[in-house]
Amino acid sequence: MPRYALLVEYHGASFAGWQRQKGVPSVQGAIEAALAKLEPGEHTIAAAGRTDAGVHALGQVAHCDLTKDWDPFRLSEALNYHLKPDPVAILRCAHVDNAWHARFDAVERRYLFRLISRRAPLTSEAGQLWRVNHPLDTSAMQAAADGLVGHHDFTTFRSTICQAKSPVKTLDEFRVEEVPRDVGTEYRFHVRARSFLHNQVRSFVGTLERVGAGAWTPEDVKAALAARDRAACGPVSPPMGLYLAGVRYPTDPFT
């Protein structure tokens, strides 16, 4: 059976997350339903990472197995046709080896979190950014982020329902970018690692927001990390500002 890699973009507001769940809409379920329109029967796809309810993706990667040898471009076009009106798009499609796996072959995942400081509510971008109504100190947030980079026990920033075998991970990059806007200021948190714990990025951003607001210091974040205690974590940010920005493989399947 031919195997195909899919580069997927989606708006997560209308989904209960990536993973297929009985009785609620999911991104995985939407794509599998579209595949069934092309080749009747049950389909199971695997993804590089499972995103939670309300979380978006700019570059999720999944793979599927089909019986027909599809031209990758025609497959992506057909899937996009059958995915309508769901806010899911197949950006690219490629033939891959039958042993290739979207999750297990990934060597890096990148997340983006978008936060905006402005008094007025969001309208056209509602559900795409987390809004706060107070200014934030970018330098202080970056100083706190720098203390999280490296090989650490991230128990403090791990959900209590996380199923990972170990809380020890290596964070390769944590960059805070300030983007001036006509109204307010946007803050973008760029985070890169081989893999992440459940709610790790949202726990990071919620804690750093407290640093930016002046309620915490970068030293407080270091102490929270060292505590290895979930109770030491700051607030967890809401999901709407989080994006799975990209996944890297030893060889890019789409080139």
> In this predicted structure, what is the pLDDT of residue 213?
98
Q: What's residue 210's pLDDT?
A: 98
| CATH of 108-246 given 3.90.600.10, 3.30.70.660, 3.90.1150.10, 3.40.50.150 | 3.30.70.660
pTM (2 d.p.): 0.96
Q: Residue 1: its pLDDT value, please? A: 87
In this prediction, residue 171 carries a pLDDT of: 98
Bridge partners (DSSP) listed for residue 53: none
CATH entry 3.40.190.10 includes domain 3-105: no
Provide the pLDDT confidence category of residue 219 given band limits of 50, 70 and 90.
very high
Give the pLDDT confidence score for residue 192 in this predicted structure: 98
* Range in 18-22, 54-58, 202-206 with the lowest mean pLDDT: 18-22
pLDDT, tens digit, for every residue of 181-196? 999 999 999 999 999 9
The pLDDT value given to residue 138: 98
Average of per-residue pLDDT across 144-168: 96
Q: What is the mean pLDDT of the chain?
A: 97
| Catalytic-role residue among 52, 65, 172, 220 | 52
| Percent of residues, the chain, with pLDDT higher than 70 | 100
Question: What integer is the mean pLDDT of 209-229?
Answer: 98
Residue 205 φ/ψ, nearest 5 degrees: -65, -40
What pLDDT is recorded for position 85?
97
Do 3-105 and 108-246 have matching folds? yes
Closest to 30 in 3D by CA, of 57, 3, 70: 57
Q: What is the pLDDT of residues 32-91, one digit of tens each?
A: 999 999 999 999 999 999 999 999 999 999 999 999 999 999 999 999 999 999 999 999
Residue 52 annotated as catalytic? yes
DSSP string, the chain: --EEEEEEEE-GGGSSBSS-BTTB--HHHHHHHHHHHHS-S----EES-PPBTT-EEEEEEEEEE-SS---HHHHHHHHHHHHTTSSEEEEEEEEE-TT--TTTT--EEEEEEEEEE-SSPPSTTTTTSEEESS---HHHHHHHHHTT-EEEE-GGGS-TT---S-SEEEEEEEEEEEEE-SSSEEEEEEEEES---TTHHHHHHHHHHHHHTTSS-HHHHHHHHHHT-GGG--PPPPGGGEEEEEEE-SS-TT-
In the chain, where the domains are located: 3-105, 108-246
